[in-house]
Amino acid sequence: MTAPTRPPLKPLFDALQLLLGHAQTLQEFESVPTGDADGRVLAQDVVSGLQVPPHDNSSMDGYALRCAEAHDQGAEFAVSQRIAAGTSGVALQPGTVARIFTGAPVPLGADAVVMQEDCTPLPDVDGLPRVRVNSLPLPGQWIRRAGEDVAQGEVVLAKGHRLGPAELGLAASVGLDQLLVVRRPRVALFSTGDELVMPGTVAPKDMKPGAIYNSNRFFLSALLRRLGCEVTDLGIVPDQREATVQALRDAALSHDVILTSGGVSVGEEDHIKPAVQTLGTLDLWQIAIKPGKPFAHGRIGAAHFLGLPGNPVSSLVTFLVLVRPFLLQLQGVTDVAMKTVAARADFDWPRADKRQEFLRVRRNAAGGLDLFPNQSSGVLTSAVWGDGLVDNPANTSIVYGDSVRYVSFSELLA
């Protein structure tokens, strides 16, 4: 009897495109205070109702003057007014300067600001302070022009933009105290495996042979929350068909996504595949990446199902390259591509693999990348030691000094 032919491994790009084709943006929105919107995704454009800054203002503490009147270095002037931030002055009197402070409006008639370090205060004359200007000003120097940051009516933040601290500040600068954002995806998370033990339930010295602590649950939950998800942690589901079906059925009732780790291979104790197929549809993919070959996507009712491999680094990598962009697109993010930069490999990698590889590395003091010596899919210490991944194409060896594609964990874990 001829053994069934296995389908070819699916390239990561093809798998990602298929997966993203299922990630339709959630159509439920909510208004949240601007200060609470970090990490959320805008559901509509943010349009400025004013210009920023609203008026020409000084970017330095100093003196506002007319350049035409300061044609000689060391020219002396009477100080006719004092303008602090939050106040407004009057038109500048000819032959005088205005003492001005950072953020204050530039008075009508002035066309430059000279910083106070380039000026020397002089004794009062006729009750007016005087100052010597020790440099020749140029028109426009140290003046921030009205609207140079934001024009009135300008789209300052586009729909689908994921908000960070700078974006919150920009929204506040145009007067918004509330922002309309896509609601958080609701994700149910559970692990499968009778070998799994929760930390704190069994002391290390009492662990049974073959038992391991459930590390995946902790980093997956943290990753989901960093991506703005509401997480329901369903714990560890026993390696039993009925228990797996029940957990999936219950999770599908009130969640947008069900995420599991382990049980997506084809062994006798891997119950995820038949359980999902009992309740809905399933695509089980063998993806041409290392680590992280087995990956599953399906639907149970309205809920998406995403199944990760059980080995911790495999689970981490498949989450970062597949689940992360899926969840971002579900929230309406318009640019979900993984961004790599060119970096120098300060290592050799002669063992070219037929799969696309993600190697754990970290930057060194010389600006290159060092390789963690053990690239096994079970060595989670490699992800703690490293600060990023080398995205190495299939069938590609690396020679010391080669330029490689590097993506930092700070980019992927934000």
| CATH code of the domain containing 85 | 2.170.190.11
Same domain, yes or no: 227 and 175: no
Same domain, yes or no: 82 and 130: yes
| pLDDT given for residue 264 in this prediction | 64
| pLDDT given for residue 92 in this prediction | 97
Whether residue 242 is contained in a domain is answered as yes
Same domain, yes or no: 163 and 293: no
Whether residue 271 is contained in a domain is answered as yes
| pLDDT given for residue 199 in this prediction | 85
Domain boundary residue, one of 330, 355, 375: 330
| CATH code of the domain containing 191 | 3.40.980.10
Same domain, yes or no: 202 and 290: yes
Whether residue 103 is contained in a domain is answered as yes
Whether residue 6 is contained in a domain is answered as no
Number of domains in the chain: 4
| CATH code of the domain containing 350 | 2.40.340.10
Same domain, yes or no: 166 and 227: no
How do 368-371 and 341-345 pair as beta strands? parallel
CA distance 109 to 90: 9
Per the DSSP assignment, residues forming a β-bridge with 358 are: 391
How many other C-beta atoms lie within 10 A of the C-beta of residue 141?
16
Whether residue 273 is contained in a domain is answered as yes
pLDDT in tens, 231-263: 999 988 888 888 889 999 999 999 999 999 886
| CATH code of the domain containing 159 | 3.90.105.10
Whether residue 2 is contained in a domain is answered as no
Same domain, yes or no: 122 and 83: yes
Which residues, given as ranges, of the chain have pLDDT below 50?
A: 1, 268
Is pTM, for the whole model, over 0.75?
yes
Same domain, yes or no: 102 and 22: no
CA distance 252 to 190: 13
CB of 65 within 8 A of CB of 110?
A: yes
Same domain, yes or no: 202 and 312: yes
Same domain, yes or no: 82 and 171: no
Same domain, yes or no: 178 and 188: no
Same domain, yes or no: 324 and 213: yes
CA distance 19 to 297: 8
Domain boundary residue, one of 285, 300, 330: 330
Same domain, yes or no: 204 and 220: yes
Helix (H) or strand (E) holding 383: helix 381-385
Domain boundary residue, one of 116, 144, 172: 144
Whether residue 5 is contained in a domain is answered as no
Cβ contacts of residue 380 below 8 Å, gap of 6+? Answer: 215, 312, 313, 316
| pLDDT given for residue 206 in this prediction | 87
| 3-state secondary structure (DSSP) of residue 410 | helix
pLDDT in tens, 170-217: 999 999 999 999 999 999 998 877 788 888 888 888 888 988 888 889
Handedness of CA 54, 58, 63, 69 (dihedral sign): negative
| Domain with 349 in it | 341-412
In 116-271 the beta strands, taken as DSSP E runs, fall at 119-125, 128-133, 143-144, 155-157, 178-182, 186-192, 196-197, 212-213, 230-237, 257-261
| 3-state secondary structure (DSSP) of residue 89 | coil
CA distance 334 to 160: 5
| pLDDT given for residue 239 in this prediction | 80
CB of 388 within 8 A of CB of 368?
A: no
For helices 272-279 and 241-252, angle between their N-to-C axes, nearest 10 degrees: 50
How do 128-133 and 119-125 pair as beta strands? antiparallel
284, two tokens: 């089980």
186, two tokens: 């609701």
Whether residue 4 is contained in a domain is answered as no
Cβ contacts of residue 218 below 8 Å, gap of 6+? Answer: none
